[in-house]
Structure 1
Amino acid sequence: MTFETLGLSTEILRAVADQGYSEPTPIQQQAIPLILQGRDLLASAQTGTGKTASFTLPLLHRLGSNRRPQRRSSSPRALILVPTRELAAQVGESVQAYGQYLPMRSAIVYGGVKIGPQIQKLRRGVDILIATPGRLLDHLGQGTVTLEQVEMLVLDEGDRMLDMGFLPDIRKILAQLPQTRQTMLFSATFSPAVKKLAADLLTDPVQVEVAPHNTAAETVEQLIHPVDRHRKRELLSHMIGYRNWGQVLVFTRTKHGANRLAEQLAKDGLKTEAIHGNKSQAARSRALAKFKQGAVQVLVATDIAARGLDIDHLPHVVNFELPMVPEDYVHRIGRTGRAGKAGQAISLVSPEEYTLLKGIERLLKRNLPKDVVPGYEPTTPLPAGVEMCSRKRSPHPRYRGNRDQGRGVTRPTRLPEGDLMRSSRSSVPVKPAKVPTPRFSGTDAARSSDKHMHSA
């Protein structure tokens, strides 16, 4: 199937071709025709499957096919609600890219930045509004926008909005929308809460689920490294330096933990930035831009801050700490292995986290492969119920960053048989590439610097 067979307008097809896409993904193949028909939709798809384009493309087509004279209006024709600033920016970029040949205006509104420029843009009139619930309510309260002419409503990552406590805000927003509209709800999971929200929102919806819920993409190779908590930072620095990783996204549980780890990795000689909810939007945007450009090697993030991050060909995700909620593990590792590209998700698991690991394995309905890195053996053995299991040979390349001369980016290459990324049974490690060696001085120094982070 090609995009031409989906019935999209010439202007949109031209914009899609400009982005380098020729074949729609499974969620796009199923969702786009239904939205073009005007149906309400309840859709579930793993992150990185092209979900954003599956609603932005038909939304743009329908608005473009029913064009209205350009006029100043306080009400958009389409409203896209998202849970985080980063996701709002990502969706806004998609709307701009795919709608570049259409005479439509769009605006993005979210908190953490000055409201004045947003007000000015809204007063000029917009066709498509991408918003987080809290900031949208601010604008509604000030009368800078109304929702009386909304024809299409999209709720993206509905499960995350519910997890973040946005349901009361969503209900206030829904009360100001026309009863007659087309509504689409996208969610990574079909939890009971999501289904209840769908029952309140949607009229005779079609349900689309392109992959089993709560599963990780097949393109992501998952691996567990058991290690003592106080040696995690040392092991992480070792992996990044020894394996010559050029780009890695690292998850921590807390904002303070993200700051502390970023400071420690910087002292180890790794170019590192942290993003979390306490950072201003400008600081988060700068850090993300530098990470995408290759100026930053390691980006340390909390779950909320990383929600909606869309980084092309991100090869590595590391769970420095396992999430408290098993479903968040799926969301985290979905930052890699996107759009059919192979990726690797590594979790550094201490004995205190074995219970969390068991919960993740129950969710995934399988035991994850576990390798002990030589020299980093945990002092506490794995408890009953947490089984050691070796990895099966994967069809996807294992990554070692290969610095692209003159461009500061990395390219994936296959690891030789002796690399430590292989099973710990490997007897002949390869000689590490010549990269800046992390500046930690032995285990004791690493333990000393780590104790502050873990006490937080």
Structure 2
Amino acid sequence: MKFEEMSLSPNILSGLRDVNYTELTELQEQALPAILEGQDAIIKASPGKSKNGCFTIPALAKIDAKENVEGITTLILTPNSAEAQQIEDLVRGLGYHAQIECACIDLDSSKEEQREALAAEPQVVVGNPGPLADTLQELRYIFRHVDYLVIDDLSKIISLNLLQKVQDILKRVLSDHQTLIFTDELTDEIQEFAEDTLNEGIDIGFNDKEKMLLNKPPEVTQNLSHGYIYVPNRMKITTLMAHIENSPKDQCIIFTASKRGTDRLYKILRKRNYKATSLHSKLSDEKRSQRFANFTNGDVQFLLVGDLSATTLNITDVKKVINYDVPKDADEYRYRTNLISDDKSSSIVSLVSKQDRSDINELEKKLGHSPKELDLPEKVKQKLKERKKQKSAQKKKQNGKKKSRPKKKNKKSNEMELPRPSYDKLSGGKAGKNKKDEKSGVINMLKNLFS
């Protein structure tokens, strides 16, 4: 995209040509439209020309569009002298044709130069937090006309222990203003500062996980119908299809836990002549945009979403969301409810299998209210009855087979009779008699006893 395609004044376009800015970078394409509209934002960006252009171009365009400029209207805070001087040079180059003046209050300038810069009241002031805060304190200076404030490289500001200086400066800005924060990383401290400083700010350039940290989950509206269905074992797809058949034909988003889950459901829905498309993390940006557009344009009824957060979907008006797999995180559940229109006919339904029951119980605790248990669809109840009948028939058949088997005969006999000892090893046994046996009265007595 070229700068000529944007609604910039001839003065700013001439300045862009002077500093060899011809085409927008990827970051600038993402950030400039929202910034030019006046939105507060936290933007993930590394130091460099692309980042500096993101905040200087809108600042100068805003100044050039005014008929009368009174006092300092743009304040840019950056942590070190070299960066402050680079930004000053860029502002002077871009703003030359619009006759925009800029002053730099940095660590390399003297206190006298800093006081003179503020007294001159140029339209733009670029400052390092330390010397600027000290000078403002000495002069008891108040910013009454600033309408555009940039906090550059916030992660570096924090690492240099300059955040308190920034907060001291912000207390002296009494006018309503647009605020932009630039950082190359996201930490808890940066997140907390952004929440306190930005007015309904948006985030630009962050990945899905970082967006979930930045965006507070919405409150779950009471108008929304929350329900869940306990799914019989191995009947999840059957339950889903029966529920869909009984539901209105409105557009619906179905969340699964994996790409494999979306692929499986897509085949089943298409086989039953439902129009569906799917999104997952393995898709290219081009394919994801096209499939998403097919859903938002109304070309398909079902959007299947696997392994992606609801924060990645820019939708707020669907009538139904189905959790094919129950989310383990209560915030993700809240984000999914935020996709649904604020309408009494809208609903979110979770399919709860045996292994999901602990998750739904935990969600109930964290959400503060309990989703309503819904009845199984009649078609599923009927299939359950058929399954029970089949099991019962199989059991009877197995029992019948057991009864028809012949009983084993009990070969035991004379159970009360004492076992007969063997005499083979006794003298005079079956092997024959000898003279000693005849003479032995003890042996003869034993033979007579056991015979």
Give TM-score scaled by structure 1 length. Answer: 0.43
Question: Which protein has greater RCO, CA pairs closer than 8 Å, 6+ apart?
Answer: 1
Higher normalized helix content (fraction of residues): 2
Give TM-score scaled by structure 2 length. Answer: 0.44
Report which of the two structures shows the higher radius of gyration computed on alpha carbons.
Answer: 2
